[in-house]
Amino acid sequence: MTATLQEYNNQQPADGKLECENKMTLPQSLEVIRDFVSKVVIAVAAFLVVGSAAIALNLFVVFADSRNLLPRNIVYGLTGLEYVIFALDLICFVCFLLVESFRFLRDVTALL
């Protein structure tokens, strides 16, 4: 069951887009992947920015504590604030990744 080149060319769509058997065109699938990857990259950047703020606060607290510039209760409070910032940052990052992963899967299955 071999087809000639002329028969194969007649089967191709006029607009030149490649189509899969499941009718998902290549540009649509790339758009879904591009959207997912761009959102993940932005989320990673935001995670790094907020995490860097927590690390900078840690460095300040360690410096201030080593020089006895702050009272002990302030040092404990700022240390707790570091952990809260980092924990909330991590929780938000993981939740965002889960939501975006489910949206990505929904979009991919909608294209099928």
Angle ∠(99,37,86) on CA atoms, nearest 5? 60
The identity of residue 107, as a single letter, is: D
- At 2 the three-state DSSP class reads coil
Q: Enter the tokens of residue 47.
A: 């995670």
Q: Enter the tokens of residue 68.
A: 């006895």
Say if CB 54 and CB 86 are below 8 A apart: yes
Region 57-79 average pLDDT: 96
pLDDT value of residue 29: 82
Q: What percentage of the chain reaches a pLDDT higher than 90?
A: 71
Say if CB 82 and CB 61 are below 8 A apart: yes
Q: What is the pTM of this model?
A: 0.72
Q: Enter the tokens of residue 107.
A: 């979009």
